[in-house]
Structure 1
Amino acid sequence: MDLVVVTHNSGAVLQSFLKSVPNHVRTIVVDNGSSDDTVEVATAAGARVIRVGDNVGYGSACNIGAAAGTASLVLFVNPDVRFEEGAIKAFVSAAAAHPNAAFNPRIYTGSRRRFRRRSRLLPASEHWQGAAPDDDCVIPVLHGACIVLRREHFNKVGGFDAKIFLFHEDDDLSIRLRQAGVELRLAAKALIDHDEGNSSARSSQSSRIKGEAMGRSLVYVMQKHGLHLNVPAERRRTWLRFLSPHVLLRNARRSKLLGFLHGLGLGPADQFGSRS
């Protein structure tokens, strides 16, 4: 198995992440222009480091990391994840039992369960109904924090869409895998802890950049898959969110919403250029 982790100023979380990776897993760190100690931490841990030199976006960096490996299974994971004991072994077992599938683990943030029930790219009839599953099963969409799939399937669908800088790249990959006849499944015995939102150091500036990327990506993937996006309605809902106390009192969240509003107006014709 090749493990690909994309970093951008991820030094604060990377060491703990790498300690949770079993020694037999080949780890490829693709660094998107970090200015902190990310590269030094990865090098000291013995990981292979690919320095992109600039922030080319999550999907593009994943493609670079995948191309640097040779294993039949590829694991894409965020650096703010921690693998529970036996998680990697459980992935390998699930892949052996279901050779025509891509997988998510069971994801927790502390004691809180994380499970993607829906995607903007799927009709409501295909959204997950009821409680999050605790057993192996087919799921509607993959959560991008941790994905395992066969290299042949990843190559068959052309990898991640490099036009998506950040956000909704997992939705897009999920749809294309489904269209190629690949099942999306939960590997229930694989457990991870995801300290969500902490892959990179937080600031109002980084939040603004992420919000803009989210807006642009939403416009792009909806048009790519032939779906209607009511942009005025998106704007109205976003402005209403500013009234929430947890937004009003936090600069980073306000900055992200402002970035999202700006990204909605840029549209897919603009390039998803490099960000710092």
Structure 2
Amino acid sequence: MDPASSHRSPFALPLTVIVVSADSGPDLRDCVQSILASLLPLELLLIDNRSHDGIPEAIERAHAHDHRLTVIYNHHNLGFGAAVNLASKQAQGDALLILNPDCVVQKGDLERLAGLLVGKTKVGLIGAVVCDAEGRADPASWRRDPLLQRSLNSMLNRVGEKVNVEGDIPAALIEAEAVSGAVMLVPRVLFQRIGGFDEAYFLHCEDLDLCRRVRDIGYQVLLAGDIRVHHGKGSSSRHRPIFVSRHKHRGMWQWFRKHDPASEKKLVSAAVWLGIWAHFVLQVPGQLWRLLLLKLRRSMQATAPAADED
């Protein structure tokens, strides 16, 4: 792979924002604009996993004179974690903010997030509350390790400890086992120390793995409950749901095998493998149907002007 990049900032910075795109759609423009609106000295590394929508190129042209933006083009889709790792090698910021391409930060959010690391030597990772357009918090903002018992409780809606922490998220800085991978702030030195994301995960669950490994070496994972970031929730996956779902289920299996003590029991491990992939297969018909409806809507929208003229 031979990535090409544009402008580089010649000075040290408090923050490097890393955004990975892969046919992320128009939301990517809003994400970039919200970052560059910040008054915090920063650099933005937009690393593109071979998009075909032309938006990363358009963004680079639109911000050609802004030295804070660097666009890195990959010749194939490396996966989320591998792309972040690649970008992190070029980063100059003291901290890395890993942000999804369908997230929009509000004025002051970046300054507040970066400030939370100041003077805290044992904080390894900080997340924020991700919300939908109506301001409803995504339960995945405050999570526990997806151990087998918790996952079963969540899936079957049983009484007991679940993966997502139930109840309102306190508007304070609180400790967590895991946070949403849509917004993750990590000291660059620590990210490099633990080897970045585990590239065995292509898409999904690499964030859970990172949180676990941060905690395993004695650092805290925190959630900034009073910082809320709008999240478009999968704008780059609507046109390829089966691809995304396959890697999500694969990530679940990898996390289980790597971190869950239950995986040491062969029969349990076999049952979990069968359950994960049966769940994937059962989702395929519905995903195909939704994809067909999406294509029909787009086709109707594309032909609507011609029909009006007639």
TM-score, normalization by structure 1: 0.81
Q: Corresponding residue for 1:120?
A: 146
Match of 2:304 in 1: none
RMSD (Å) for aligned C-alpha atoms: 2.5
Q: Distance in 2 between matches of 1:249 and 1:35?
A: 22
> In the alignment, what sits opposite 1:57?
79
Structure with the greater alpha carbon radius of gyration: 2
Paired position in structure 1 for 2:55:
38
Q: What is the CA-CA distance between 1:134 and the residue it aligns to?
A: 1.7
**Equivalent position amino acid for 2:24 in 1:** S
Quick one: which amino acid aligns to residue 173 of structure 1?
Answer: L
Contact kept, 8 Å, 2:144 with 2:176, in 1: the verdict is: no
State the one-letter code of the partner of 2:48.
Answer: D
Which SS does the other structure have where 2:113 is aligned? helix
Cα 1:234–1:163, aligned 2, differ >3 Å: closer, same or farther? closer
1:171 aligns to what SS in structure 2? helix
Partners of 1:27 and 1:104 lie apart in 2 by 18
- 3-state DSSP of counterpart to 2:179: coil
- 1:70 corresponds to 2:92: yes
Q: Matched residue of 1:224: which SS?
A: helix
Amino acid at match of 2:29: Q
Match of 1:220 among 242, 254, 277: 254
Query: May I ask how many residue pairs the two structures share in their alignment?
Result: 248
> Aligned runs of 1:1-276 on 2, under 5 Å?
1-21=15-35, 22=38, 24-43=41-60, 44-45=62-63, 46=66, 47-101=69-123, 102-110=125-133, 111-114=135-138, 115-121=141-147, 124=150, 128-198=165-235, 200=236, 202-203=238-239, 206-227=240-261, 228=263, 229=269, 230-235=272-277, 237=279, 247=286, 250-252=289-291
* Percent of residue pairs bearing the same amino acid type: 24
Equivalent residues of 1:29, 1:42 under 8 A apart: no
The corresponding residue for 1:263 is none
Given that 2:104 and 2:230 are in contact with CA atoms closer than 8 Å, whether structure 1 keeps it comes out as yes
- Give distance in 1, aligned partners of 2:131 and 2:110: 16
Is residue 86–residue 190 contact of structure 1 (8 Å, CA) maintained in 2? no
Gaps of 5+ in 1: 255-276
Work out which structure has the larger RCO, using CA pairs closer than 8 Å and 6 or more positions apart in sequence.
1
SS at 2:117 equivalent: helix
What do the CA deviations read for 1:86-121 (whole angstroms, capped 9, x no partner)? 101111221115332210112211221112333314
